[in-house]
Amino acid sequence: MTKPRILSGVQPTGNLHLGNYLGAIRNWVEMQSQYDNYFCVVDLHAITVPHNPATLAQNTHAIAALYLACGIDLQYSTIFVQSHVSAHAELAWLLNCITPMNWLTDMIQFKEKALKQGENVGVGLLDYPVLMAADILLYKADKVPVGEDQKQHLELTRDIVDRFNHQFGKGEKILKSPQPLIRKEGARIMSLTDGTKKMSKSDPSEQSRINILDSPEDITKKIRKCKTDTTPGLTFDDPERPECQNLLTLYMLLSGKAKDEVAAECADMRWGDFKKLLTETTINALQPIQDKYHEIMADKSYLESILREGRQKAELVAQQTLKDVKTALGYSLPL
């Protein structure tokens, strides 16, 4: 029996942080043996906000290396770069033409990002979810493991599938509707400076996030300074204590302990002692990933060969879907 397929991706914009790791990549790693996995570095998405051409290629390689360093295994998974497979941009165009404008202007992430950018919002930012739909649909992905913030984009993808199949499928399901895979724990890792805001690459404050590649000194400093509260004892699930919830969740996920165990261990702790414990746990969890990352980045030709192979595998699947879509739309295909 063939395994169900997974597709997911991360943008090569800035450093990956614990939100990306715990909300997305860690889950990919844990589930990979059960699926046929495609993980892309979505560098076309990276230019929907102003970007620096001098660092785009380097950042793209860095994310691919981080996938491997976090434990993505090529025995189960294909790693590739979105811009290396031109079908992504091409399918995005075709889907654009069947996607109503108001579906896109309604997207929360668009509104938030557009607000941050002020006047010069590119069309690409509005169109971002259609490109994301193309990424997913090209591979006929069954499941898409992401953080909570991507849920709306997955719903849009499903709406596009229904509309396309209804208008052009002649009773056939040419495009496949994907299921979002959002784990409860870690789906929304919050900022270290405000437990009500998600940890994000675009927060101007470095103190707000722990990056996967942060040094032990930086991790120590950030956790020492992170926001807490004055209520005695540490507990999960108190809506009045978002920072406490977030920090206990980080400890739980990074230590691999069960929630009950963490709740019992930390119930009577003071913040000072807990912060020491969290610091040590975070450094220990990230150290092996960092070592592996530096090893991979030191061998450029190895990484390039993986991406070349990934592109070839991805291309085969993507071209077939693109062909099916173009045929359904009535195009004459080149012989």
Q: Has 198 been annotated as catalytic? A: yes
Residue with Cβ nearer ligand TRP (70 or 144): 144
Residues 6+ apart with CB under 8 A from 78: 37, 38, 39, 309, 310, 313, 314
Residue 234 as a binder of ligand AMP (CB under 6 A): the answer is no
Residue 59 as a binder of ligand TRP (CB under 6 A): the answer is no
- Of 183, 285, 204, 191, nearest in space to 246 by CA: 191
Inter-residue contact 145 to 6 (CB < 8 Å)? yes
Binding window for ligand TRP (CB under 6 A); candidates: 132-140, 185-193, 251-259, 290-298: 132-140
Residue 10 as a binder of ligand AMP (CB under 6 A): the answer is yes
Shortest Cβ distance from residue 273 to ligand TRP (Å)? Answer: 35
Residue 11 as a binder of ligand TRP (CB under 6 A): the answer is yes
Question: Could you say which residues in the range 16-75 bind ligand AMP, by CB under 6 A?
Answer: 19-20, 23-24
In the numeric block, the tokens 């002649």 are attached to 170
**201 binding partner (options ligand TRP, ligand AMP, none; Cβ < 5 to 8 Å by kind):** ligand AMP
CA quadruple 31, 35, 40, 42: dihedral, nearest 10: -70
Question: Could you say which residues in the range 170-229 bind ligand AMP, by CB under 6 A?
Answer: 187-189, 198-201
Q: Which DSSP string corresponds to 23-37?
A: IIIHHHHHHGGGSEE
Inter-residue contact 192 to 222 (CB < 8 Å)? yes
DSSP H helices, the chain, are 18-20, 26-31, 53-70, 87-96, 101-105, 108-117, 123-138, 151-168, 216-225, 242-255, 259-266, 271-297, 300-329
Shortest Cβ distance from residue 103 to ligand TRP (Å)? Answer: 16
Shortest Cβ distance from residue 21 to ligand TRP (Å)? Answer: 13
- Of 316, 314, 324, nearest in space to 82 by CA: 314
Residue with Cβ nearer ligand TRP (60 or 281): 60
In whole angstroms, what is the distance from residue 210 CA to residue 213 CA?
8
Shortest Cβ distance from residue 198 to ligand TRP (Å)? Answer: 11
Q: Has 113 been annotated as catalytic? A: yes
- Closest-approach residue to ligand AMP (CB): 23
Residue 7 as a binder of ligand TRP (CB under 6 A): the answer is yes
- Residues near ligand AMP (CB under 6 A): 10-11, 19-20, 23-24, 146-147, 149-150, 187-189, 198-201
The catalytic residue positions are: 113, 198, 201
